[in-house]
Amino acid sequence: MYGKVKDELAATLQEIRDAGLYKQERELTSPQSAHVTTTQTQALNFCANNYLGLADDPGIVEAAKVGLDEWGFGMASVRFICGTQTPHRRLEQRLSEFLGTEDTILYSSCFDANGGFFEVLFDAEDAIISDELNHASIIDGVRLSKAQRFRYRNADMADLRRQLEAARDCRRVVIATDGVFSMDGSYAPLPQICDLAEEYGAMVFVDDSHAVGFVGEGGRGTPELFGVQDRVDVVTGTLGKALGGASGGYTSSHREVVELLRQRSRPYLFSNSVAPAVVTGSLAALDLIAASHDKRDRLRRNTELFTDLMTDAGFDLLPGTHPIRPVMFPGDDGARRATEIADHMLKAGVYVIAFSYPVVPKGKARIRVQLSAAHTESDIRACVEAFAAARDAVG
């Protein structure tokens, strides 16, 4: 019986609204792209994870259509029963080649890859040492395991060392980090993490969702950027951002790790296979990324241009080279200003998102801009002009 639960839920929803935390979804009436239309307006999109602009790439759409024709719509099965087709195997092999790992296992999402990892490898006598800013899916994955949990301050290597000391007597130890922290656009200090891991005999786990496809010379992500591909034990990532943006995720690692995940990882064993068209489309995305620097170069130039123009216009950006570029609005009324500026910009046809406490620390409100290879120079200039106009209007 629903009964008084109805009133309780209504009260909770009102609390969310009163706290200014209610999330309104803007409905797109177009494909995902640099230029989108919503039910309200046309907008330049600066808040998608569409880093390489592949979400509506004609070659990838075509590859997905071929996948539909050749392999059907859906698998109606988990992988180990009858949900594995040749393209699923091919994509796992292609990801392993691309990332320089021994083997790869696909999941329906990176959320599932992270959710299904820790429990399989780490038990009560083991330790997981996690960066405090790690993605929710790592946090949930860690919660599902019986391992002892340790947390270190974001990218703080002295604190990581303290936690490694505290975990010294554990059987297995893993350091888990995002490759890129998505609120700041900052990189995890992987060389130092790998040094400490070697000193203490720990494994290294990196979730590279905000890097795979475009960070590093070949787009292989943060381990490539830092030259530590051979020192990172486990990489997870998503197909839902730069690699076409559809859906799906993976864990790529040593042979035995992947083999054991196929036997024991619950989201893999108990959730449907990735749809064939998504697999063939993602294969085409990987081919495109491996064959050419063009989109990566374009993304880097766009990021530099945006940073330069915004800095010249007097805005305060967090330092960094990642296409996540946070524009900061510090102080007590920063949250209000960031929200009003973002609202103002949307009315002017530029879609950006403001983040404030509790998503980011108090006093560190920001508008997170995400650049894409699909943006043109004039798109970026229009975005910067909209920022300046909104600042003038809001004060």
Ligand X SMILES: *Cc1c(COP(=O)(O)O)cnc(C)c1O
Closest C-alpha among 332, 374, 381, 362 to residue 45: 374
Catalytic residue of the set 88, 210, 322, 344: 210
Separation between Cα atoms, residue 103 and residue 238, nearest integer Å: 16
Contact 232, 223 (CB under 8 A): yes
Contact 66, 276 (CB under 8 A): no
Q: Given the complex with ligand X, which of 109 and 387 has the nearer CB atom?
A: 109
- Give the footprint of ligand X on this chain (CB under 6 A): 109-111, 135, 137, 178, 182, 207, 209-210, 238, 240, 249
Beta bridge partners of 369: 325
Annotation-wise, does 210 bind a ligand? yes
Active site residue 241: yes
Tell me the backbone φ, ψ of residue 56, rounded to 5 degrees.
Answer: -125, 30
Q: Which CB atom, from 53 or from 240, has the smaller least distance to ligand X?
A: 240
Within 8 A by CB and 6+ apart from 243, the residues are 54, 212, 213, 237, 282, 285, 286, 289
Of 96, 137, 186, 241, which residue is the catalytic one? 241
Q: Is 182 a catalytic residue?
A: yes
- Does 347 count as an annotated binding residue? no
Q: Annotation-wise, does 239 bind a ligand? A: yes
We find the least distance from the C-beta atom of residue 209 to ligand X, in angstroms, to be 3
Tell me whether residue 170 or residue 289 sits nearer to ligand X (CB atom): 289
Q: At what angle do helices 276-291 and 86-99 cross, to 10 degrees?
A: 30
Tell me the residue type at 18.
D
> Active-site residue among 96, 109, 137, 182?
182
Reply yes or no on whether 210 is catalytic. Answer: yes
**Is residue 182 part of an annotated ligand binding site?**
yes
End-to-end CA distance of the chain: 51
> Does the annotation flag 272 for ligand binding?
yes
Provide, rounded to whole angstroms, the least separation between the CB of residue 222 and ligand X. Answer: 11
Nearer Cβ to ligand X (180/348) = 180
Residue ranges of the annotated binding site for substrate are 135, 368
Residue ranges of the annotated binding site are 110-111, 135, 182, 207-210, 238-241, 271-272, 368
Residue ranges of the annotated binding site for pyridoxal 5'-phosphate are 110-111, 182, 207-210, 238-241, 271-272
Catalytic amino acids?
182, 210, 241
